[in-house]
């Protein structure tokens, strides 16, 4: 396994990689649009493609030969990685990228990787469109976007669309184990990652995430009557001005409630392990309909958290009341 490339095994065996694979020997297209919300995985995926195109071992992306290492160290002369900061690209920067794309390559192939184009204004995207309309010879653009609608229709129509996989739990678990993430942390991360490698890694590396997770499990398991609300409504951090960790708490709640619904309908759909045990405990006091109505209440709380004059404590109280009410109504 390569220590140089995150998620190497998962990405190499991904459907997305296999879709592009044939083109490495048959000839690359002018433009690809890689669609995924997982920025970290896309960044690794781009480097993997660079390795595969130039690898000394017949496009195998061995990640070990001198050329692969050159790519992994961002030193390959015929590969440009742009917008690795993942921000809105400014007009001057886009012009500079396009100037680079018109330079002569050493190998006959020039790969231009641009991350998160969806953050960029339409005006600046239009500069890129011109290059895609009359692509310089031997140049292939790989454009990353978190969502399809964030990219101009005219750009999309000139790209081959590739959706980066939603990865299965066991694949993500393997990658986290390879990163030496402890078992229990890895299980929580997999359960909450929505099939995204980067998100799973972020969760696994976050000190507070497991704490929030345990807090939510305890709340959903133990809160039985309105008198309990007083002791449990400290779910939000009042100092969390940007609401990041508060929204995270609500996301965890949604994920657990969704799993309760899955478990109620078909217990074998959840993977055996510590998370399933937590879900089993929570499911003792929730019907599938109650869980569904609670998810709606959580979404409502999330919406309120984003409003400028929000009062986190009042939102927490009202959410917990709604949960109790749903549990009671949909027994």
Which residues of the chain form contacts with Zn ion (CB under 5 A)?
A: 55, 57, 62, 65, 68
Contact 117, 145 (CB under 8 A): yes
Closer CB to Zn ion, residue 62 or residue 152? Answer: 62
Could you identify the residue written with the tokens 């779910």?
235
Closest to 27 measured CA to CA, from 194, 140, 188: 140
Write down the least CB distance from residue 4 to Zn ion, Å. 11
The count of residues in the chain is 331
Write down the least CB distance from residue 218 to Zn ion, Å. 49
Closer CB to Zn ion, residue 3 or residue 134? Answer: 3
Write down the least CB distance from residue 63 to Zn ion, Å. 6
Closer CB to Zn ion, residue 68 or residue 155? Answer: 68
Write down the least CB distance from residue 8 to Zn ion, Å. 12
Contact 100, 80 (CB under 8 A): yes
Could you give the dihedral angle defined by the CA atoms of residues 161, 34, 175 and 170, in that order, rounded to the nearest 10 degrees? -30
Closer CB to Zn ion, residue 71 or residue 190? Answer: 71
Closest to 86 measured CA to CA, from 109, 117, 47, 61: 117
Write down the least CB distance from residue 9 to Zn ion, Å. 15
Q: What share of the chain is helix, strand, coil (3-state, %, to 5)?
A: 60, 10, 35
Q: What are the angstrom distances between the C-alpha of 328 and each of 73, 194, 247, 305? A: 58, 29, 25, 25
Write down the least CB distance from residue 249 to Zn ion, Å. 44
Closer CB to Zn ion, residue 68 or residue 79? Answer: 68
Closer CB to Zn ion, residue 42 or residue 55? Answer: 55
Write down the least CB distance from residue 56 to Zn ion, Å. 5
In eight-state DSSP terms, residue 80 is E
Write down the least CB distance from residue 108 to Zn ion, Å. 18
Closer CB to Zn ion, residue 11 or residue 219? Answer: 11
Residue 12 DSSP SS3? helix
Burial label, 318 (beta-carbon count in 10 A; 0-12, 13-18, 19+): middle
Task: Report the chain's C-alpha Rg in angstroms.
Answer: 23
Closer CB to Zn ion, residue 54 or residue 97? Answer: 54
First vs last C-alpha separation in the chain: 50
């Amino acid at each position: 396994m390569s220590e140089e490339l995150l998620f190497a095994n998962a990405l190499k065996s991904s459907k997305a990689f296999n879709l592009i694979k044939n083109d490495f020997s048959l000839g690359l297209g002018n433009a690809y649009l890689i669609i995924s919300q997982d920025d970290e995985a896309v960044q690794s995926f781009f480097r993997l493609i660079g390795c595969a195109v130039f690898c000394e071992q017949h496009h195998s992306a061995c990640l070990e030969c001198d050329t692969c290492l050159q790519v992994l160290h961002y030193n390959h002369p015929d590969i440009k990685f742009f917008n690795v900061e993942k921000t809105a690209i400014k007009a001057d920067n886009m012009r500079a990228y396009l100037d680079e794309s018109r330079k002569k390559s050493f190998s006959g192939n020039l790969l231009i990787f641009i991350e998160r184009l969806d953050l960029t204004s339409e005006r600046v995207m239009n500069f890129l469109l011109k290059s895609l309309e009359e692509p310089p010879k031997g140049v292939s653009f790989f454009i990353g976007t978190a969502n399809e609608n964030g990219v101009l229709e005219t750009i999309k129509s000139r790209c081959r669309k590739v959706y980066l996989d939603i990865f299965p739990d066991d694949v993500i678990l393997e990658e986290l184990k390879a990163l030496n993430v402890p078992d229990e942390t890895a299980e929580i991360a997999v359960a909450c990652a929505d099939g995204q490698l980067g998100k799973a890694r972020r969760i696994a590396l976050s000190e507070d995430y497991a704490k929030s997770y345990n807090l939510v499990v305890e709340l959903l398991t133990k809160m039985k009557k309105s008198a309990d609300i007083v002791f449990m409504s400290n779910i939000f951090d009042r100092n969390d001005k940007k609401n990041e960790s508060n929204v995270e708490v609500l996301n965890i709640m949604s994920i657990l409630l969704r799993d309760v619904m899955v478990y109620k309908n078909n217990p074998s759909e959840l993977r055996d392990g510590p998370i399933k045990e937590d879900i089993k405990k929570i499911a003792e006091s929730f019907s599938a309909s109650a869980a569904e109505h609670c998810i709606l209440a959580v979404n409502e709380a999330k919406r309120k958290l984003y409003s400028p004059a929000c009062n986190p404590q009042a939102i927490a109280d009202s959410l917990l009341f709604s949960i109790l009410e749903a549990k009671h109504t949909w027994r």
